[in-house]
Every structure is written in C-alpha cells, then in structure tokens.
C-alpha cells in the first residue's frame, strides 16, 4: 500500500538473506566484500531501483556534501558566472551547491550565513555584501574549522583562502591607459571604500597618476554605491566642477554606461571630449555604442578556483591559506580609444 517508501539497504539485505552491513560495504566498494557478492548485491539494488539516502549517509558521516555560496545578487553577470564556475567544479566532485543572495544587505547576509552553518554546509564560498562591516558571522566558520573561501570581495582581517582579482593593478592599468590616450584630468567614480576591491581600484588609480607625475585632485574622485542612478548623479556633479575631468574611470560598467548616456545627451563626444572606462566587462559593455573599455574579471574561473580550493580543504583538512590573485585584462574599446597609442584592440 505504501508505495512511496524507497527501498533501503535493509530491503536489499532481506531480499538476499544477508546483512545490511554487507550491502552497505558492497555498494561502497569495500575491499572486504568479494567481487561475486558485490555483483550480486549491485544487481539486486538496481533491480529494486535503490538509491542511497544521502540524508542518512550524511548524518552518519557528519558530512553534507554541500557547498554554500553567498553572493550579493545572483542576478548579476559577474556573480552568476562565478556561481556557474563553482557549480561546474562542485558537481563533478560530487557536491551540491546551495545558493543564497544577500541583496547586498549585511543583515540578510548574517542570517544566511547562520542558516548555512545550521544546515551544515561543508564549506562556504562568499563575496560579502557592500554594507557588511562586522564579520563575526564569518568568524564562526573559522572557529569551527569549516572551510571558508572569499571571492572578489574578501575580508582582510579574516585569515582564510581568497580568490581575488588584482584590483589595484586593474585600476592602475585603466588609468595608465587613459594617460596614454592623452587625457589630462582623469576622474574616478569609486565604490564603497570599506570594500577592498573598490579601495584597491582607487589606489591603483592614484598610483598611476603619481607614477606619471599627474596631480591627484581629490575633487575628481566621488564615492557612492555605483548604481545606475549614482552614475548619472556623478556625471552631473563632476561636469559641473570648475575644472571638470576629461576622462572618468568608473568603478563598474553600470555607472560607466549611465554616465556615458548622460554625457552624450549633454552633447559630449565620447571618446573625443571625454574618455570613459568601466570595470567588470559586463556583457553589455561590448555591444553598446560606443562600446565601453573595461577590465575583464574572470568570473567563471574564479568560481572554479574557489570550488577547487574549498573542496581540497574539505577533503584534506589542509590548514594553510592562500590568496589567489587572478590577472585582469584591460579591454580597450571605443569609449576611451582616441587612437593615441597602439595598444587598442
């Protein structure tokens, strides 16, 4: 009558008049079981449509085979690429990927991280929310020795594995490129400075100015949360300065685009009057017109690396931490290419 009870190893054992232990061992390829017995057991298991109950196995093994991943927004190309990379590697290694989004809210991030902990993920891969400033929820993972990997937005004060891109270098190269293109007053639209990524991009920018002997004018640097609206506002603000910039390095592609649209509507020619560079290589940056120069971050690869790293930690109990810095790629497109140097592509 109760058709929805799945067969268990006990059912298989009963069928064959052997013990459940033997069935379990046979199915797990334990060398203590003879080949003949194994084959017999596997045949019966198949015929009964047996599927191991991972819940039970997980409980017994104190291992969930689950990797948690927390991102600010699933629905953003960079993040979904990372997720895709994590899934790719995790799936092949037999792990499930449990996903949650913080919506860039510290409060939700804390909730999620606790929930992931309670749900006994074997490891957590996370890019922290913009707002997060207290990290006790993550320290919990460190304290309990549950592998934790940061990607992109890492927390400097927590010692663990990190996969980041070289944001400093990215900011540096963008700025150097703009200088090479002959721009003289280069502004920067930066993201929240509590996030290392944005902090580094800005410092790369400053360093490039310095190395080129360009005066660093703080009034040309704005900090906000880099939404589309922020981009428009920033454009207004920067262009109403006494001495406005002739190039703007934007903290992401979204603001680069909104800023560009605003400027174009105001009659500025891009890149002739104003050069613009974004960051992240969002899919649209390549296809808008003018196409937006930007820094490509290898999202998929970051996800793969993060998954590889965390699985190694889960399985080997390694206790040494590494920070993998992936190279960025400067993609020069129309929005900053005045043809002043040969490095365009």
Neighbours of 293 (CB within 10 A): 30
CA-to-CA distance for 83 and 69, rounded, in angstroms? 8
CB under 8 Å to 177, separation ≥6 — which residues?
277, 293, 330, 332, 336, 343
Cis peptide before 77 (omega within 30 of 0): no
Contact between 159 and 170 (Cβ < 8 Å): no
Contact between 96 and 90 (Cβ < 8 Å): yes
Nearest distance from residue 146's CB to DNA, in Å?
14
**Span interacting with its own copies, options 87-95, 156-164, 172-180, 268-276, rule CB under 8 A:** 87-95
Q: Based on C-alpha coordinates, what's the Rg of the chain?
A: 26
Nearest distance from residue 240's CB to its own copies, in Å?
25
Instruction: Give the HSE-up count for residue 280: Cα atoms under 13 Å, Cβ half-sphere.
Output: 22
Q: Give the DSSP H or E segment for 123.
A: strand 123-126
Nearest to 139 by CA among 118, 161, 164, 160: 160
In the list 14, 20, 185, 286, the residue contacting DNA (rule: CB under 7 A) is 20
CA-to-CA distance for 153 and 71, rounded, in angstroms? 10
Q: Is 107 one of the binding residues for its own copies (CB under 8 A)?
A: no
Q: Is 118 one of the binding residues for its own copies (CB under 8 A)?
A: yes
Nearest to 186 by CA among 269, 248, 243: 248
Nearest distance from residue 51's CB to its own copies, in Å?
5
Q: Is 53 one of the binding residues for DNA (CB under 7 A)?
A: yes
- The residue (of 78 and 168) whose beta carbon lies closer to its own copies is 78
- The residue (of 136 and 218) whose beta carbon lies closer to its own copies is 136
Task: Measure the CA dihedral 224/232/168/69, to 10°.
Answer: 70
Q: Is 333 one of the binding residues for its own copies (CB under 8 A)?
A: no
In the list 31, 213, 267, 283, the residue contacting its own copies (rule: CB under 8 A) is 283
Answer with the entry of its own copies, DNA, none that 144 interacts with (C-beta below 5 to 8 A by kind): its own copies
Answer with the entry of its own copies, DNA, none that 28 interacts with (C-beta below 5 to 8 A by kind): DNA
Nearest distance from residue 164's CB to DNA, in Å?
35
Q: Is 236 one of the binding residues for DNA (CB under 7 A)?
A: no
In the list 3, 32, 144, 319, the residue contacting DNA (rule: CB under 7 A) is 32
In the list 55, 157, 213, 319, the residue contacting its own copies (rule: CB under 8 A) is 55
**Span interacting with its own copies, options 7-15, 78-86, 150-158, 317-325, rule CB under 8 A:** 78-86
Contact between 337 and 271 (Cβ < 8 Å): yes
Positions touching its own copies (CB under 8 A) are: 4, 51-56, 58-59, 64, 66, 73-77, 80-81, 83-84, 87-88, 91, 96-101, 112, 114-115, 117-120, 144-145, 257, 261, 282-284, 287-289, 300
């Amino acid at each position: 009558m109760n058709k929805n009870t799945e067969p268990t190893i006990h059912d298989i054992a009963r069928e064959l008049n052997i013990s459940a232990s033997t069935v379990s061992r046979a199915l797990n390829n334990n060398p203590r079981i003879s080949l003949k017995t194994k084959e017999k057991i596997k045949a019966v298991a198949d015929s009964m449509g047996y599927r191991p109950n991972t819940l039970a196995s997980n409980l017994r093994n104190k291992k969930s085979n689950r990797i948690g991943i927390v991102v600010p927004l699933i629905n953003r190309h960079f993040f979904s690429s990372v997720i895709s990379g994590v899934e790719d590697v995790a799936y092949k290694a037999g792990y499930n990927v449990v996903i949650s989004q913080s919506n860039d809210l510290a409060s939700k991030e804390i909730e999620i991280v606790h929930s992931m902990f309670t749900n006994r993920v074997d490891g957590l891969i996370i890019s922290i929310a913009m707002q997060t400033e207290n990290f006790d929820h993550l320290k919990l993972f460190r304290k309990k020795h549950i592998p934790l990997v940061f990607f992109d937005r890492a927390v400097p004060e927590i010692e663990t594995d990190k996969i980041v891109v070289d944001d400093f270098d990215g900011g540096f190269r963008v700025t150097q490129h703009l200088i090479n293109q002959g721009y003289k007053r280069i502004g920067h639209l930066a993201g929240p400075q509590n996030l290392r990524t944005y902090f580094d991009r800005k410092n790369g920018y400053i360093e490039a100015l310095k190395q080129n002997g360009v005066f660093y004018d703080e009034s040309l640097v704005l900090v906000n949360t880099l939404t589309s609206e922020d981009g428009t506002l920033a454009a207004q603000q920067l262009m109403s300065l006494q001495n406005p910039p002739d190039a703007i390095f934007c903290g992401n592609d979204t603001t680069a685009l909104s800023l560009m649209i605003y400027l174009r509507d105001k009659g500025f020619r891009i890149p002739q009057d104003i050069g613009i560079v974004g960051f992240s290589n969002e899919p649209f940056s390549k296809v808008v017109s003018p196409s937006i120069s930007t820094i490509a971050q290898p999202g998929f690869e970051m996800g793969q690396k993060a998954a590889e790293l965390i699985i190694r930690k889960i399985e080997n109990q390694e206790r040494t931490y590494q920070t993998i810095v992936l190279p960025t790629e400067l993609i020069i497109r129309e929005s900053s290419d005045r043809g002043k140097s040969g490095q365009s592509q």
